[in-house]
Structures are given as structure tokens and as C-alpha cells.
Amino acid sequence: MDALRRAAGLSSDTALRPERFGALAYDFDTRRLSFIRRRSQAQGALNDEFERGLDAPICLTWELTYACNLACVHCLSSSGRRDPRELSTAECKAVIDELERMQVFYVNIGGGEPTVRRDFWELVEYATAHHVGVKFSTNGSRIDATRAEWLRGSDYVDVQISLDGATAEVNDRVRGVGSYATAMRALSLLAGTGAKLSVVVTRENAGQLDAFKAIADELGATLRLTRLRPSGRGADVWDELHPTAEQQRAVYEWLLAHGEEVLTGDSFFHLAAYGQTLPGLNLCGAGRVVCLIDPVGDVYACPFAIHETFLAGNVREAGFAPVWRESELFRSLREPQAAGACGSCSMYDACRGGCMAAKFFTGLPLAGPDPECVFGHGERALRGTRPTPSQDHSRVRVVRRECDESPV
Ligand code: SF4
Ligand code: SF4
């Protein structure tokens, strides 16, 4: 590793993780991931390496709880009530110890609302002390001035505030009355800390991208746009909230115009079929570079695929590493995938058939077009029966206002 580090001109502050092709490097200062190939390794695209799977995930989402003080209509994990089988503090720390041994550079913590766990900040501190950076998503309700100052001084913790409308009217229809004001207050407290403003693009807010960018710029935040997927309660609102074909085209043009200044993860690679590749991860990384640990320790291929079909194992059995490295599901996802009906599409190399979870939860075959295929092939195929989610933690009575009570 030292030879690779010297050859790549990396400082000793950059974390290096050996991989079969050489190494992955993560700079905790710039949050940049880079890919270092040994001279002896055959040349090939980064995506090809990612498709064959890595020794440890680069995008590990960990939902710490299904408890939430909001009830967003599109919640990917149908959150609301705490699951009594939730991992204990000691079990969470054991997971972090393992992630440190595996050199997982950082975890994306979510929920539910992760900050409602009483041990949330203790776990964040434990992770960073063990060289696992933390990026956590929150609705902002537990961010006060003291916590904002603490976050300002924390080098290895990134915060992401969720907002699904650039106005209270649009946001609160999706996330609940009062949630716009809460998120904006948190963003203001976090101004200048490098926080992210995270938006799920819907039919209602697709026309507000400039307004979201203006909010982010004004508060010194980075805008992150993600795709609405029909997962969890998102399945219930997919038909009315997923962007229209015209809106998708407009989102694509907008993303092209804004390039690297807006983060998107792997959200919009299906739009590359319009002609140009967008910045971000341009493949479905489920089970290859992406996975989810849910609040009870179940490991799924992706945070948008909480269904028994995509369940690879549980960390309570023998830990996380054996699930990631040896589970039958993940091994099969790392094999070349059939293109199915997309095989004859001239844009398959760009779009690769789109998102596995979006196909699954709209009842489409996994080998075939995405429901939002830019040529409309997915939409025409949408006739099948849709699978029902394996679990639902929604509260029985939908909360229209934020509440102060602990849902734990
Ligand atoms: S299933 Fe969809 S959301 Fe999940 S990793 Fe693949 S493309 Fe991303
Ligand atoms: S047919 Fe398949 S590969 Fe072609 S654009 Fe549609 S989803 Fe993408």
C-alpha cells in the first residue's frame, strides 16, 4: 500500500483500501474517492470494476431506526414506529468496529429520523473515533444552535437536511405541516458548515430546481437531488408524484447545465439515455458497491429495495462482512446481468436498463426497461401486479403536524 500511496502522490491523511485492481483512496478533507490501479492490472472502466463488486461497500446506508416524528408520504422505508427488535447500542458499536476493520470510509446514516435514537450522538462519535466518517440525513427537528456548533467543529460528520419543496406549500404537502420551517431553521443554523440540502425530485417540485439551488447557495449548502423511487410509502404515491416525461427531460437538461456543482449519487443515470452521461455513479450499484443495514440488522442490496427478494442476511448472525462478501444474493448481483428487453436498445450502455428497485416495485421484470425509460418503453410495460412491501412501520394515524413526543 505504501508503494501505491507514493506512486499516486497521496498524503498520509488519505485512507487507502486494497481492492483486486489496486486500491480505493478516500480523502477525508475533500470527501473525494479515487481509484488507483496497479500497473500490472488490465485497463478497464471504473464502472466495470464496480459491477464486479468491491471488497467493502463505498455507499453503505445504515438506517438506525424506523421511528420518525414525521410521516412523509413518499418515505422509502415506510417509517413511523420504532421496531422493538432494533439493534442495541452495543450491537451498533460492534457493527462500527467491523466497518473499521473492513475500511468502510463512511456510512450514510438515515431512518426514520435517526436523531430520535437516544444514543444517536454517542454512535456518531464512536464511528468517527473509529475512522468511519458519518453522513447523516435528518428532517432538522433536533438540530439546535448548540448541536450546530458541535457539527461545525466535527471534521468527519456531514449533515444532510431533507426538503421536498422550495416553498412551504409544496414541501409541507409531502413532508407535513411545519416541516418546511423546521428544515429551513436547521439549514440556517448550519450555514457555512458544508451541509447538504437534499431534495427528492417529484412532479410537484421539478419546476423548482432553480429555487432549491438559490436556497442552497444562500445558506452555503450543497444541493443534492435524488430520484423518487416507488419504495416504501413511495409506492403509494408513485403514480401521482413521479415526474412526467417532460419534467424528466427538463431535469436532465438542468443537471447537464449544472454539472458537478449538484450531487445526485446514482439517481439519474437512466436519463443518460437522452444522449449524454451525467455526473455521478452511472450504474446500479445494488449489492456491488451499495447496500443497506436496516434498524434490526437486516442487510438489503440497496436502501430502496427493502423487500425479502433483496434480503442478503443479518449482521446479528455472523456480522456484516460475511453477508457482504459471501451472500448468494450479492454474488448473483455481481454477475453480468441480463439486459432482457433492453438488449436491443441503442442506449443500453448508457442507461443499463435503469434502477432495479424502481422496476421491482412497479411490477416490471428486472431484465428490462426502467418505469421512467426515456423512450417510454417502461411505461408501456406497466401492466403487471405490483409487489407489496415486506414491512410497514407507518403509524396508523397519519401525522399532519410535527410532534414533540418521542416516537421511540
Ligand atoms: S436499485 Fe436503484 S436505487 Fe438501488 S442501487 Fe440500484 S439504481 Fe440505485
Ligand atoms: S429501453 Fe432500456 S436501456 Fe433503453 S433507454 Fe429504455 S430503460 Fe434504458
Q: Which of 200, 266, 364, 366, when mutated, tests ligand 1's pocket best, judged by the most ligand atoms within 8 Å of its CB?
A: 266
Whether 381 lines ligand 2, by a CB cut-off of 6 Å, is no
Architecture of the domain whose range is 59-339: Alpha-Beta Barrel (3.20)
Domain boundaries, the chain: 1-43, 59-339
Of ligand 1's listed atoms, the one at least distance from the Cα of 266 is 8
Q: Give residue-wise pLDDT tens across range 183-201.
A: 999 999 999 899 999 999 9
What's the CA gap between 31 and 81, in Å, rounded? 33
Q: Give residue-wise pLDDT tens across range 40-93.
A: 555 566 777 788 888 999 999 999 999 999 999 999 999 999 999 999 999 999
Q: What percent of the chain has pLDDT over 70?
A: 93
Whether 302 lines ligand 1, by a CB cut-off of 6 Å, is yes
Side-chain half-sphere CA neighbours of 206 within 13 A: 17
Whether 290 lines ligand 1, by a CB cut-off of 6 Å, is yes
Which residue minimizes the CA distance to atom 8 of ligand 1? Answer: 284
Q: Give residue-wise pLDDT tens across range 317-353.
A: 999 999 999 999 999 999 988 999 999 999 999 999 9
Angstrom distances, CA of residue 142 to CA of 48, 134, 192: 41, 17, 18
DSSP annotation of 222 reads E
- Asked if residue 102 lies in contact with residue 55, where contact means CB atoms within 8 angstroms, the answer is yes
